[in-house]
Amino acid sequence: MKVMNEIFQKDCFDILKLKLDRGEIDRRSFLRGIALMGAGALALQSGAVSAQEKEMVMVTWGGDGTKAFEKAFAAPFAKATGIRVKSDGSGPTEGAVKAQFEGGKISWDVMDTEFFSSKTLGEKGYLGKIDYNIVKKEKIHGSDWHDWGVANYYNTYVMVYNKKKFGDNPPKTWADFFDAEKFPGKRTLPKYMIGAPEAALLADGVSPDKLYPMDLDRAFKKIKDFMPNIVSFWGSAAESQQAVIDGEAVIGLLWGTRAQLVHRDTGGDVTFTFQDALLTPSSWSYMNKNPAGAEIANQFIAAAQDPALQIELLRLVGCSPANPAAAAMVPEDLKPFDCMQPEHLKIMHSVDMEWYGKNYGAALDRFIAMIAN
């Protein structure tokens, strides 16, 4: 009788599993069914439901970007693997990562981190190492990878200007940005500094190949002397957009992703240039001792290297692909907005992630103190 009961349970289990695989019942109904027939232990021993129970948490920076990441990366991965991807848009700041790890209550798995932060955090033991047997280096632009992070997309700091105001004589260089006599009107710069000292140094005659290590005294003096012409230091991307759309600032240093939205929202009346723009990678990383495990985290990062998915992110929110194979696949209507197109790369400058990893905290403190006075 015991053997017959086990055979019957196995048969019932197989029927339930078949219905689950076909989509005829959901996971809750499946688990309820096996509980009613006392087959929970059998199911767990077989490992048949383990894939259905797996999940991971993807951490991004909120807003439209989070929605785009969910559509471009999370949904395809969940569909392909059966692993549920939960989204957290609270932002993986260095402080938040440190607090989770040191508090011993790790709930995050894969994160969209600042490239230089992923290296800093990795060196402190907060992040797991990328498995380059799973994640492919040849699917990464240049050398934008390290032990704890891999480039997932690129953004830029670009000059945005009011085309209607300047007509046939728009500003073209960072020297023009800092020339309020030739190009009158207020400016806006990022509160969190990145891009601003580089722009100031280029405007002050520093050669692009001599930008780093940055002469912050020289850069900050240039910005401080120009502060009467700066109407705002934006603390969010939405603020930067509004400042140039409303005309509060006629020239601004904005993220390339937001510059694209401004261009589209104004029908090109407020536009941007990639000339001398500052190129920055973001990175995938994952928490050390993450709940889903290192293997799933690396599988997700590898899946997100698919050029088609990265092009979808470009279409949704303007983040440019990190996989060099994507450039030739980008549709014609998106190429003017893709900073990784060869003609755009030729006229931009790469932000030195090594320098920022070592110097950002102290430099930002100085910058915040300066603009507060």
pLDDT tens column, 156-186: 999 999 999 998 899 999 999 999 999 999 9
Residue 188, token pair as written in the block: 């806006």
Q: What is the pLDDT of residue 186?
A: 98
Q: What is the pLDDT of residue 270?
A: 97
Q: What is the pLDDT of residue 26?
A: 63
Tokens 């471009």 map to which residue?
72
Q: Is 160 helix (H, G, I), strand (E, B) or coil?
A: strand
Tell whether the model's pLDDT for residue 49 goes beyond 60: no
**Contact assessment for residue 67 and residue 91, using Cβ atoms and an 8 Å cutoff:** no
Alpha carbon of 77 to those of 198, 289, 297, 306: distances in Å? Answer: 38, 21, 11, 11
Range list of H helices, the chain: 2-22, 27-36, 40-46, 50-53, 63-69, 75-81, 94-103, 115-123, 163-166, 174-177, 196-203, 216-226, 237-245, 256-265, 294-303, 307-317, 342-345, 353-372
Tell whether the model's pLDDT for residue 23 goes beyond 90: no
Tell whether the model's pLDDT for residue 42 goes beyond 50: no
Give the pLDDT mean for 287-299: 97
Tell whether the model's pLDDT for residue 62 goes beyond 70: yes
> What is the Cα Rg of the chain in Å?
25
The rounded percent of the chain whose pLDDT value lies above 90 is: 82
**Contact assessment for residue 79 and residue 63, using Cβ atoms and an 8 Å cutoff:** no
Question: What are the φ/ψ torsions at residue 85 (nearest 5 degrees)?
Answer: -110, 110
pLDDT digits (tens, 9 = 90+) for 67-93: 999 999 999 999 999 999 999 999 999
Tell whether the model's pLDDT for residue 259 goes beyond 70: yes
| Length reported for the chain | 373
Task: Provide the CATH topology of domain 54-153+282-332.
Answer: D-Maltodextrin-Binding Protein; domain 2 (3.40.190)
The rounded percent of the chain whose pLDDT value lies above 70 is: 86
Spatial distance between the Cα atoms of 187 and 111, rounded to a whole number of angstroms: 33
> Per-residue confidence at 134, pLDDT binned at 50, 70, 90?
very high
Spatial distance between the Cα atoms of 249 and 242, rounded to a whole number of angstroms: 9
Q: What is the pLDDT of residue 308?
A: 97
> Per-residue confidence at 11, pLDDT binned at 50, 70, 90?
low
> Per-residue confidence at 31, pLDDT binned at 50, 70, 90?
low
- In the chain, the amino acid numbered 98 is K
Tell whether the model's pLDDT for residue 43 goes beyond 90: no
Give the pLDDT mean for 120-146: 97
Task: Provide the CATH topology of domain 155-280+346-372.
Answer: D-Maltodextrin-Binding Protein; domain 2 (3.40.190)
- In the chain, the amino acid numbered 178 is F
* 238/212: higher pLDDT: 212
